[in-house]
Structure 1
Amino acid sequence: MATKDRITCHVLDTTAGRPARALRVQLTHTPPSAPDAGAPTAAATTPRTFESITDDDGRVKTWLPYSAATASGDVPVYTLDDVLGELAAEPTSRWTLRFDTGAYFEGQGAINRER
């Protein structure tokens, strides 16, 4: 049995009545805008982004660290478990999912970007 991360995602394409296969998804830990009193951990104050592609069942089971095109070129070496472990001492954390639906529906032939 394949392992899965502690945060997963399942996407359904309700326009087609099936799982959304091969949809790019980003998961970002969004730190609070104002740090709490005390000494917050690095994970609590640094945005961390992961990304994946949904499988044939529309599921994301594992996430890889995301390196933005504007980054220095260094590949992030942290895992989702690393970040969740650092956040364990925090009372709450905020995460954002971003779905690349434009590319997904364009690939399905539902969007024509040429005008």
Structure 2
Amino acid sequence: MAAERDPITCHVLDTTTGRPGASINVVLIPLSPSPSASQTSLLTATTNSDGRVTNWSNKSGDAGRVIRSLISECARKEGDASTTVCPVGSSLWKIEFDTGSYYGEGKCFFPKVELTFLVKGGEHFHVPLLLGPYSLTTYRGS
């Protein structure tokens, strides 16, 4: 039986070859303030042969549970300090792709791609990255 996918996933496609971006190291970090975020904030993965990350790893072992908990815990509550960046019920996350290692030293303009995005509890968030050595495109996938 296949493992259930985590609430935040990603996919890398190499636009120069038309193939998946396999074996790219990826880090997922909650940016919203949270008491336990510092202990569990480092979620890591490597894209598979299809260029996808469907499950993350962390020190506690159950990264999917940790992500769901952080999404809920990090979400801005009614009465919290006002911000237009992170509306009530949302949390702010960052995903980092180690593209320099993928293309090789000095062979790309973006050696690290960092994307910051909003997450709402109870939804799945898929972050595709269309990548070339000198360009990138991203969007909210399904």
Q: TM-score range by the shorter chain?
A: 0.5 to 0.7
Give matches, 1:1-115, under 5 Å. Answer: 1-3=1-3, 4-32=5-33, 42-43=35-36, 46=38, 48-65=41-58, 76-77=59-60, 79-88=63-72, 90=75, 91-106=89-104, 111=107
Hey, what's the Cα distance between the residues in 2 that align with 1:51 and 1:80?
12
Higher percent of residues as strand = 2
**Offset at residue 62 of structure 1 (A):** 0.7
Q: What 5-or-longer segments of structure 1 have no aligned partner?
A: 33-40, 66-75
Q: Report the structure number with the largest CA radius of gyration.
A: 1
Alpha-carbon displacement from aligned partner over 1:34-61 (angstroms, at most 9, x marks no partner): xxxxxxx524x53712111111110001
AA matched with 1:111: K
> Partners in 2 of 1:97 and 1:26 — Cα distance?
6
- AA partner of residue 20 (structure 2): P
List 4+ stretches of structure 1 deviating above 4 A. none
CA shift for structure 1 position 98: 0.4
Deviates more, 1:87-96 or 1:10-19: 87-96
How many residues matched? 91
CA distance in 1, matches of 2:24, 2:30: 20
Determine the structure 1 residue equivalent to 2:81. none
Report the alpha carbon displacement of residue 81 of structure 1 after superposing the two structures with TM: 1.7
Q: For residues 52 and 93 of structure 1, what CA distance do their matches in structure 2 show?
A: 21
Q: Which structure 2 segments of 5+ residues have no match?
A: 76-88, 109-142
**Percent sequence identity over aligned pairs:** 34
- Root-mean-square deviation (CA), in Å? 2.6
* Superposition TM-score, scaled by structure 1 size: 0.66
Structure ranking higher on relative contact order (CA contacts 8 Å, 6+ apart): 1
Aligned residue identity for 1:82:
V
Q: TM-score under structure 2 normalisation?
A: 0.55
